[in-house]
RNA sequence: GGGCAGGUACCGAAGCGGUCAAACGGGGCAGACUGUAAAUCUGCUGGGGUAUCCCUUCGGAGGUUCGAAUCCUUCCCUGCCCA
C-alpha cells in the first residue's frame, strides 16, 4: 500500500529546505508501513487572511505529496489562534478577529486549499475545538512547560524586544497554542514555511511534555513576492492569488525580477527532476532566455490552476498587449447610464471606476497614460461623446469599452 | 505608581508658530527605453475647481493666537528607566 521508505523520504525531501530529525521520520515511516497505518501530517493555516496565494501553495503541494503517499493530511484551521494573531514576520501585532469571522474565513481557505489538496486523506479541524475549552488552569499548566528565555529565542520576539517594539504578553502564547494543536491531533509530522521553524519546534517540546512522541518537521521555502524583496503576502500586495484569473496570474509572474525565476519555477510548480534539471541548466548556460523562462514558468503556473488552454490564451494576450501594444482579445463593455452623452473625459473615467478621483485621472492624462480609441489623450479637459462605443485605455493594462445606455 | 522619550500622509522618517498638502527614503502609478507588468532613467503621488481659490489631513478632545503639525490643558496609545 505504501511506497518503500527510501522512496518516500526522497519525495518528502524534494524541494524542502529542512527535514528533521531525519532519522525519526525514517523510523516513523518504517513503522507506518509495517503497521499499515498512515502518518498524521499536520499543516496549520491562518484564517485571518483566507486568500491563498502561490506562496501558500508551496507547503500545500508538499502536503499533497504526503497524501499521495497514502498519509493523512490534517489541516488545522486556526480559528482560535487567529484571535491572538501570530506576530510572525511582521513587527506589528495583527488585529485579532472574532471566532465567527475566522470560521467564515476558514471555509474560504478550505475551498481554495482543495484546489491543491486531495479531498481524500484529508481531515479538517478547527483548533477552537480544543483551545476554546481550556480553562485558566490548563493554560497555566501549558505555560509552565516553557520558559521566557526559550520563548525569547524566537527571532522576531528578540528583535522586537531589542528594538523597543511592543510585544503583548498574549503573543507569547501563540507558539504554545499552536503546539497544543500538535498535542490534540497527535501529529507525526508538521509542515510549515521556514518562518515557522520556531513554532514547530515548540510543538515538539510540548508534545514531549504531554507524553507524546514529538513530531517530525518539514520546512518549505518561503516564496518571495513579486517585488523580489519581501515574502509574498496579501497585505504587501506582492502576491499571485490562486484565484487570480489567468491573465493576471500570467502578467504578475512576468513581472518578477529575473533572479526569482528559478525559485518560482521550482517551488510554485514542483516540476519533476528531469524538467527542473533542464530548466536550471538552460538558465545557467544562457540557452534559455530569461523572458522565455518566465513565460514557461508563468504558463506552467497558470495551467496548474486554470488548465493548459487558458494558460496559452493568457500568453497570447500578454504578447498582444505588452509586446505589440495591441488591444486584448476580450475587453469588457460598460454601459453608463448618464443624462448627457457628451461629458468631460475625466468624469467618465471616475464614473467607470477606472480612476479613483478626478485628480488622479487628470494626472494620468497629463502623463500620457490615457488613450481613447487608440490615440493618446493630451487634453485634460477633453469631452467625450459616448453615444457610440469608445475604447478607453487607462494606464498600462486597463482596457474598457464604454457606451451610454 | 514615579521619571524620561515618543505618536506626522500607504510605510519609514524630517519639520517644532506663518513661506506646510508638509523635506527625504521606500512603496505605488505613469512616461521613455527594452527582452517583460525585469532592469535603468524621468516625472507624478490628499480631494474639489480649466483661474496665485476652497475643503480635509500631522494620536483624540478642548484652548491660546490675526495665524498651530508646531505653544498650553486634558485624555488615549507606545517604548525605556525606576518601583
Residues A86 and A163 in one domain: yes
Poorest-pLDDT segment among A99-103, A387-391, A395-399: A99-103
Among residues A323, A357, A389, which one ends one of the domains?
Answer: A323
Residues A316 and A337 in one domain: no
Residues A317 and A299 in one domain: yes
Per-residue pLDDT, A90: 37
Residue A368 placed within a domain: yes
Question: Above 50 in pLDDT, residue A94?
Answer: no
For the segment A3-21, the average pLDDT, to the nearest whole number, is: 95
Question: Above 90 in pLDDT, residue A214?
Answer: yes
Nearest-angstrom CA–CA distance, A261 and A252: 12
* Per-residue model confidence as pLDDT tens digits over A229-259: 788 887 777 889 999 999 989 999 998 988 8
What order do you get walking across the sheet with A189-193 strand by strand?
A18-20, A216-220, A189-193, A40-45, A72-77, A122-126
Nucleotide nearest to A228 (CA to C1'): B38
The sign of the torsion formed by the CA atoms of A296, A299, A302, A308 equals negative
**Mean pLDDT, chain A, integer:** 89
* Residue A39 contacts residue A28 (beta carbons within 8 Å): yes
Nucleotide nearest to A236 (CA to C1'): B27
For the segment A349-369, the average pLDDT, to the nearest whole number, is: 92
Residue A237 placed within a domain: no
Per-residue pLDDT, A13: 96
Distances (CA, A) of A166 to A85, A94, A157, A405: 14, 12, 9, 56
- Counting the structural domains of chain A, the total is 3
Distance (Å) from CA A320 to C1' B35? 15
CATH of the domain at A393: 3.10.290.10
pTM across the whole model: 0.85
Nearest-angstrom CA–CA distance, A203 and A221: 19
Distances (CA, A) of A96 to A66, A72, A80, A85, A164: 32, 30, 10, 6, 22
Residues A124 and A70 in one domain: yes
Residue A328 placed within a domain: no
The residues that bridge with A106 in the sheet, in sequence order, are none
Poorest-pLDDT segment among A137-141, A153-157, A214-218, A292-296: A153-157
Distance (Å) from CA A253 to C1' B30? 21
Distance (Å) from CA A230 to C1' B11? 13
Residues A203 and A55 in one domain: yes
Residues A111 and A186 in one domain: yes
Nucleotide nearest to A164 (CA to C1'): B79
Distance (Å) from CA A361 to C1' B19? 30
Binned at pLDDT 50, 70 and 90, residue A54 comes out as very high
- Higher pLDDT, residue A160 or A262: A262
Which protein residues, judged by their CB atom, are less than 7 Å from any atom of strand B?
A: A 161, 164-167, 227-228, 237-238, 247-248, 250-252, 254-258, 289-291, 294, 318, 322-323, 346, 350, 356-360, 363-364, 367-369, 381, 395-397
Per-residue pLDDT, A338: 82
Nearest-angstrom CA–CA distance, A250 and A232: 16
HSE (CB half, 13 Å, CA atoms) of A100? 0
Domain, as residue range, for A310: 246-323
Residue A234 placed within a domain: no
* Per-residue model confidence as pLDDT tens digits over A168-184: 888 888 899 999 999 99
CATH of the domain at A250: 1.10.240.10
Residue A240 placed within a domain: no
Residues A161 and A268 in one domain: no
Q: What percent of chain A clears pLDDT 90, i.e. is strictly above it?
A: 65
Per-residue pLDDT, A103: 80
Residue A134 placed within a domain: yes
Nearest-angstrom CA–CA distance, A280 and A261: 10
Residues A374 and A263 in one domain: no
Residues A313 and A348 in one domain: no
Which residues have a Cβ under 8 Å from the Cβ of A173 and sit 6 or more positions away?
A: A84, A139, A143
- Higher pLDDT, residue A228 or A176: A176
Residues A10 and A140 in one domain: yes
Residue A225 placed within a domain: no
CATH of the domain at A189: 3.40.50.620
* Per-residue model confidence as pLDDT tens digits over A288-321: 888 899 999 999 999 999 999 999 999 999 998 8
Among residues A273, A305, A323, which one ends one of the domains?
Answer: A323
- Higher pLDDT, residue A15 or A323: A15
Distance (Å) from CA A360 to C1' B68? 30
3-state secondary structure of A162: helix
Residues A158 and A100 in one domain: yes
Amino acid at each position: 500500500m505504501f511506497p518503500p521508505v527510501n522512496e518516500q523520504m526522497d519525495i518528502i525531501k524534494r524541494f524542502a529546505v529542512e527535514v528533521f530529525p531525519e532519522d525519526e521520520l525514517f523510523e516513523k515511516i518504517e513503522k507506518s508501513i509495517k503497521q499499515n497505518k498512515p502518518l498524521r501530517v499536520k499543516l496549520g493555516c491562518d484564517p485571518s487572511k483566507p486568500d491563498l496565494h502561490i506562496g501558500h501553495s508551496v507547503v500545500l503541494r508538499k502536503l499533497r505529496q504526503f497524501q499521495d503517499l497514502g498519509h493523512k493530511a490534517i489541516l488545522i484551521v486556526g480559528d482560535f489562534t487567529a484571535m491572538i494573531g501570530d506576530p510572525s514576520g511582521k513587527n506589528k501585532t495583527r488585529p485579532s478577529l472574532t471566532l465567527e469571522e475566522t470560521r467564515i474565513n476558514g471555509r474560504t481557505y478550505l475551498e481554495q486549499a482543495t484546489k491543491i489538496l486531495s479531498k481524500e486523506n484529508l481531515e479538517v479541524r478547527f483548533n477552537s475545538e480544543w483551545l476554546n475549552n481550556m480553562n485558566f488552569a490548563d493554560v497555566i499548566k501549558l505555560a509552565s512547560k516553557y520558559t521566557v528565555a526559550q520563548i525569547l529565542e524566537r527571532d522576531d520576539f528578540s528583535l522586537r524586544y531589542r528594538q523597543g517594539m511592543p510585544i503583548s504578553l498574549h503573543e507569547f502564547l501563540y507558539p504554545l497554542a499552536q503546539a497544543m494543536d500538535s498535542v490534540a491531533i497527535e501529529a507525526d509530522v508538521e509542515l510549515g514555511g521556514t518562518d515557522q521553524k520556531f513554532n514547530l519546534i515548540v510543538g515538539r517540546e510540548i508534545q514531549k511534555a504531554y507524553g507524546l512522541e514529538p513530531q517530525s518537521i518539514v520546512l518549505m521555502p518561503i516564496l518571495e513576492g513579486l517585488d523580489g524583496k519581501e515574502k509574498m503576502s496579501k497585505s504587501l500586495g506582492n502576491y499571485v492569488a490562486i484565484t487570480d484569473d489567468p491573465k493576471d496570474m500570467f502578467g504578475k509572474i512576468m513581472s518578477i525580477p529575473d533572479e526569482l525565476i528559478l525559485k518560482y519555477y521550482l517551488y510554485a510548480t514542483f516540476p519533476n527532476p528531469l524538467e527542473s534539471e533542464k530548466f536550471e541548466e538552460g538558465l545557467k548556460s544562457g540557452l534559455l532566455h530569461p523572458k522565455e523562462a518566465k513565460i514557461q514558468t508563468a504558463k506552467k503556473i497558470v495551467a496548474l490552476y486554470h488548465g493548459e488552454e487558458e494558460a496559452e490564451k493568457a500568453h497570447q494576450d500578454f504578447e498582444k498587449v505588452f509586446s505589440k501594444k495591441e488591444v486584448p482579445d476580450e475587453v469588457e463593455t460598460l454601459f453608463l447610464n448618464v443624462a448627457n452623452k457628451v461629458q468631460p473625459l475625466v468624469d467618465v473615467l471616475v464614473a467607470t471606476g477606472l480612476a479613483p478621483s478626478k485628480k488622479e485621472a487628470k494626472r494620468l492624462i497629463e502623463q500620457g497614460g490615457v488613450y481613447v480609441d487608440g490615440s493618446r489623450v493630451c487634453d485634460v479637459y477633453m469631452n467625450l461623446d459616448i453615444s457610440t462605443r469608445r475604447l478607453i485605455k487607462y494606464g498600462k493594462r486597463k482596457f474598457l469599452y464604454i457606451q451610454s445606455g
